[in-house]
Amino acid sequence: GAVVSQHPSRVICKSGTSVKIECRSLDFQATTMFWYRQFPKQSLMLMATSNEGSKATYEQGVEKDKFLINHASLTLSTLTVTSAHPEDSSFYICSARSWDRGRNQPQHFGDGTRLSIL
Amino acid sequence: DQQVKQNSPSLSVQEGRISILNCDYTNSMFDYFLWYKKYPAEGPTFLISISSIKDKNEDGRFTVFLNKSAKHLSLHIVPSQPGDSAVYFCAAAVNEKLTFGTGTRLTIIP
């Protein structure tokens, strides 16, 4: 159980393009979804937290107009990188967690999206 | 400022022996700690966690130890198996937000 699907796994596109990444919880309802970014040889860095039906909470230094997050249902969150530039090239990964047995359950991760902007 | 540190980027252990992965943290507000395992081209998979009110949690071959005074936690895997070869991340949480270490690559030698 606790499967999180992330799509696409890899994107290569031209500078100025907007890219949408989907994150789905396949077998549970995700009350909260998280978006992380990872640069080479660094740890996962939290970008934003989104709860279903409400606006995402962004971490300091993350541009909300650049990284649009939508969490319209309990099983789907999307991250759109708007007008992407080469410096946005990175590994983006989502996670999802449910509320069960009276507490938040551990986050379960998708397989990530490698974004390359030419 | 790296609040969660895994100082060993790699570790090799003979099959059948104990693997010990270490993690240090600096933020005393962290109240929950987790270990994740990651295979290439896959996302991290949750392994085991521990609350800051405990000092040990065991699940099968995996045991996590927490030393709050030293701000140190460790993951013990015994006996180690070839399938345990992966990158292991420790993570610490405060207000439900996770901060990750940079990972340790564990290689189990048959």
pLDDT of A13 reads 94
pLDDT of A37 reads 95
Find, in chain A, the residue whose alpha carbon is nearest to that of B42.
Answer: A111
Using CB atoms, pick whichever of A44, A104, A111 lies closest to residue B96: A104
Q: How far apart are CA A32 and CA A11, in angstroms?
A: 25
The model's pLDDT over B12-59, given as tens digits with 9 standing for 90+, comes to 999 999 999 999 999 999 999 999 999 988 889 999 999 999 999 999
Find, in chain A, the residue whose alpha carbon is nearest to that of B37.
Answer: A109
Burial class (CB in 10 A: 0-12, 13-18, 19+), A33: buried
Helix and strand numbers (H, E) in chain B are: 0, 11
Give the number of other Cβ atoms within 10 Å of residue A29's Cβ. 13
Using CB atoms, pick whichever of A2, A4, A46 lies closest to residue B98: A46
pLDDT of A1 reads 62
> For every one of its 118 residues, what pLDDT tens digit does chain A have, with 9 covering 90 and above?
678 999 999 999 999 999 999 999 998 898 899 999 998 878 899 999 998 888 899 999 999 999 999 988 889 999 999 999 999 999 999 999 988 777 778 899 999 999 999 9
Q: How far apart are CA A114 and CA A3, in angstroms?
A: 19
Q: Chain A: nearest CA to B73, how far in angstroms?
A: 17
Q: What is the dihedral of CA B33, B39, B43, B49, to 10 degrees?
A: -20
How many CA atoms within 13 Å lie on the side-chain side of B49?
18
The model's pLDDT over B71-99, given as tens digits with 9 standing for 90+, comes to 999 999 999 999 999 999 999 998 878 99
Chain centroid to Cα A18, Å, comes to: 15
Using CB atoms, pick whichever of A4, A6, A44 lies closest to residue B100: A44
Q: Which residues of B touch A6 (CB under 8 A)?
A: 43
**Helix, coil or strand: residue A86:** helix
